[in-house]
Amino acid sequence: MCGIVGYVGKQDAWPIIYEGLKRLEYRGYDSAGIAIVDAQGDIQVRKTVGKVSGLDEAATTGHPQGSVGLGHTRWATHGRPSHDNAHPHIDCQQRIAVVHNGIVENYLELKQWLTGAGHVFYSETDTEVLTHLVEEGMEQGLSFQDAFRSMGGMVKGSQAISAVLQGEDSEICALRLGHAGGIVVAQADGQAIIGSDLPALLPLLQAESNTGQVGFLETGEMVVVTLDGVEYQDLDGNPIVKQPRLVTQEEVLVDKGGYQHFMLKEIMEQPQAVASAMRERINFDTRRVDLPDFPLSTEEIAKLDRVMLIGCGTSLNAAQVGRHLVERYSGLPAEAESASEFRYRDPFIGPNTLVVSIGQSGETADTVAAMQMVKDKGGKLITICNSEGSQASRIADGSFYMRSGIEIGVASTKTFVASLTILNLLAIYLGQSRGTLEPAKFQELVDGLAQLPRLMGELIADSSVYQQMAQEYATFDNFLFLGRGMNSPIASEGALKLKEISYIHAEGYPAGEMKHGPIALIDSAMAIVALAPKDTLYDKVANNIREVKARDGRVLAVLTEGDTQLAADVDHVLYIPEAPEHIIPLLTTVPLQMLAYHIALLRDRDVDQPRNLAKSVTVE
């Protein structure tokens, strides 16, 4: 969701905050603002509706000068994107500016109380109550820090909040409540930056290596940043000794590497992403999956009676593929469900239930809340996620990191295939440990996985086929993506990618279900993308495709190389290389990502930052 950047130091704060906001724009980009404490100690605020770059125009007469400031890039929850609703929000006397990521659940109640006390509101946001609460505290005689802390004790919900105070000895306070919003802090050479995420800290990381020591706020913690340094406290004001963590270049660097979009760069990185996901998790001598960090003993694995896989969006699609893999190789009953549904239905979780959460960010509010519920009910919990130190990794008994490097494109790509790779490893590992997979079988599966980087590389070697197919299909306004078995969730993923970045209506559907309703939609104006690789369900999908063709549907089929027979019955074909069944879903994903990307380009869409979306959804 929203991105926060704050700076205290001796340099001109505006460009540092502005660049930091641009690097956090993947978190939200419907409006932005910066508050600077100027040389007179006054707070100067500039805002824009739309992306951070709009702040250039807001500062045409020169940006406010000062070496302390706070900025924000917004993903709207309460109040539409507008100048008034953009953060920072300032109090009636213009002494305090506040930025916020998350939701103040009791804001109506607080607003009513503050209005009664004489505070005048100008925005529709929940955030503005925070500003007035700090102001109210100061009017009651509290110091800025104490008023900020007291505000933290009054609000309900999961969030990160930061505020800056006017004056020559200005200071910034930030706190974290619940799981929704992270705050990271770096300091060096008498300056400090706070941010929602690591890329904001780039100016203070070592120039040659882009590594540095970073403090991560835990829930219920606060940080006070002044020119004298950084102080961590709990919400009672007691100092906390925080062990900073060394972050690596990979976690911090954000660079398109010569590609037109992050999304394309990230698609192209998929051969490395699958290789990194397997690194040190496969013993290629014994041809076994080796997960020394698996948090359950062999005895505990033997006692498992059920596996539940949860996630949201793309990660839910990964969970659906994972369900097939786990059931097939471990012999355990497996189910997959969206975390947003799962968390509200009081599911049965016993001591022998293994829950696997999947998430790129590890910060998705619904996924984190569902994980907490599993933990409270005593289930076994592991997470597959990309962000080290994320909420998900802190709650889980064990974490399997994707190691994909930072993913900036709002539409997930490389982290999806990394999830599928790890789900394969997990399913094989459970099968090995439970004895449901014979050595010959797990060795064959491992050999299949070893081919993945090469086969994915073959798929992305030539973009021209995807560009050509995008030309054929870019004018269609409706798409049906069909697949069966493990390719049914891949059909959903293909539809999700297309709708997210091109704004075309697209549905993913199990091909066998089509005749029970959706077939009524088929005519020459409906584009069908059918996944029919050579796997055990091939003949079934081939029949479904023929049912579509009999009704004038236009079919683009994803087939296995050499399949000339079915190719003759459809309108267009994209090929994947021949591959063993368990890795086919990773391969069928790639043409769908490329198709969505090139159609979005032809429709002149904002591929990396599609409207209304944000990279990590830290609100319900």
Q: Where in the sequence numbering do the catalytic residues fall? A: 2, 615
Q: Does 412 bind ligand F6R (CB under 6 A)?
A: yes
C-alpha 286/C-alpha 526 separation (Å) is: 49
CB of 262 to ligand F6R, least distance (A): 12
Interface map 273-312 toward ligand F6R (x if CB under 6 A): ---------------------------------------x
> Can you give the C-alpha Rg of the chain in angstroms?
26
Please tell me whether residue 2 binds ligand F6R under the rule CB under 6 A.
no
Query: Which CB atom, from 137 or from 359, has the smaller least distance to ligand F6R?
Result: 359
Q: How far apart are CA 565 and CA 559, in angstroms?
A: 10
The Cα–Cα gap between 577 and 455 comes to 7
In the region spanning residues 103 to 142, those forming contacts with ligand F6R, defined by CB under 6 A, are: none
Residue selected from 322, 359, 431, 483 as contacting ligand F6R according to rule CB under 6 A: 359
8 A C-beta contact, residue 64 and residue 107: no
Helices and strands (H and E) in the chain: how many: 21, 26
User: What is the rounded distance in angstroms from the CA atom of residue 243 to the CA atom of residue 217?
Assistant: 11
Q: Closer CB to ligand F6R, residue 501 or residue 555?
A: 501
Sign of the CA dihedral with 392 first, then 432, 491, and 588 last: positive
Residues 6 or more apart whose CB falls under 8 angstroms from that of 448 comprise 579, 580, 582, 583
Residue located via tokens 């949860």: 310
Minimum separation from the CB atom of position 74 to ligand F6R (A): 17
Choice between 411 and 491, CB closer to ligand F6R: 411
Q: What does the block give as tokens for 519?
A: 């077939």
Distance CA 519, CA 234 (A): 59
Our finding on whether 609 is near ligand F6R (CB under 6 A) is no
Choose, by CB under 6 A, the member of 196, 367, 393, 433 that binds ligand F6R.
367
Q: Measured from the CB atom, is 14 or 481 closer to ligand F6R?
A: 481
Q: Which of 391, 421, 616, 618 binds ligand F6R (CB under 6 A)?
A: 616
Closest residue (Cβ) to ligand F6R? Answer: 313
Give me the least distance between CB of 366 and ligand F6R, in Å please: 8
Can residue 313 be called a binding residue for ligand F6R (CB under 6 A)?
A: yes
Are the C-beta atoms of residues 270 and 420 closer than 8 Å to each other? Answer: no
State both tokens at 31. Answer: 């409006």
Contact set for ligand F6R, span 33-62 (CB under 6 A):
none
Candidate residues 44, 158, 219, 315; the one interacting with ligand F6R per rule CB under 6 A: 315
Task: Classify residue 62 as exposed, middle or buried by CB count within 10 Å of its CB (0-12, 13-18, 19+).
Answer: exposed
Residue with tokens 């297309």: 498
Of 99-107, 272-280, 313-321, 446-454, which part binds ligand F6R (CB under 6 A)?
Answer: 313-321
Strands 212-216 and 245-247: antiparallel
Q: Which is nearer to ligand F6R, 309 or 541 (CB)?
A: 309
If binding is defined by CB under 6 A, does position 361 make contact with ligand F6R? yes
Question: What is the closest distance, in whole angstroms, from the C-beta atom of residue 409 to ligand F6R in the complex?
Answer: 8
Contact 419, 384 (CB under 8 A): yes
Neighbouring-strand partners of residue 283: 288
Treating both helix axes as pointing N-terminal to C-terminal, what angle do 452-460 and 439-450 enclose, rounded to 10 degrees? 30
**Shortest distance, CB of residue 495 to ligand F6R, whole angstroms?**
11
Residue 450 contacts residue 586 (beta carbons within 8 Å) = no
Integer angstrom CA distances of residue 395 from 130, 337, 360? 28, 19, 15
Q: In this complex, which beta carbon is closest to ligand F6R, that of residue 136 or of residue 608?
A: 608
Which residues have CB under 8 Å from 516's CB, separation 6+?
none
Of the candidate spans 201-209, 359-367, 446-454, 502-510, the one that interacts with ligand F6R by CB under 6 A turns out to be 359-367
Residue 411 engages ligand F6R in binding (rule: CB under 6 A): yes
- Please report whether residue 314 would count as binding ligand F6R according to CB under 6 A: yes
Name the phi and psi angles at 358, rounded to 5: -125, 135
264 part of the interface to ligand F6R, by CB under 6 A = no
**To the nearest whole angstrom, how small is the minimum distance from the Cβ of residue 278 to ligand F6R?**
20
* Size of interface with ligand F6R, in residues (CB under 6 A): 15
Whole-number minimum distance, CB 496 to ligand F6R, in Å? 6
Q: Does 617 bind ligand F6R (CB under 6 A)?
A: yes
- 478-483/96-102 β-pairing: unpaired
Q: At 337, is the secondary structure helix, strand, or coil?
A: strand
Closest CA to 126 of 165, 87, 70: 87
Rule CB under 6 A: say whether 592 interacts with ligand F6R.
no
Which 516-575 positions form the footprint of ligand F6R (CB under 6 A)? none
How many CB atoms sit inside 10 A of residue 581's CB?
A: 17
Query: Of the two residues 66 and 313, which places its CB atom closer to ligand F6R in the complex?
Result: 313
Give whichever of 310 and 573 is closer to ligand F6R, judged by the CB atom: 310
Residues of the chain by 3-state class (helix, strand, coil), percent to 5: 40, 25, 40
Q: Which of 77, 330, 360, 488 binds ligand F6R (CB under 6 A)?
A: 360
H or E element in which residue 373 lies: helix 365-376
Using CB under 6 A as the binding rule, the residues of this chain from 485 to 504 that contact ligand F6R are 496, 500
Site string for ligand F6R, 445-484 (x = CB under 6 A): ----------------------------------------
> Minimal distance in Å, beta carbon 113 to ligand F6R?
34
> Considering the rule CB under 6 A, would residue 322 count as an interface residue with ligand F6R?
no
Q: How far is the CB of 373 from ligand F6R (least distance, A)?
A: 16
Q: Which residues bind ligand F6R (CB under 6 A)?
A: 312-315, 359-361, 364, 367, 411-412, 496, 500, 616-617
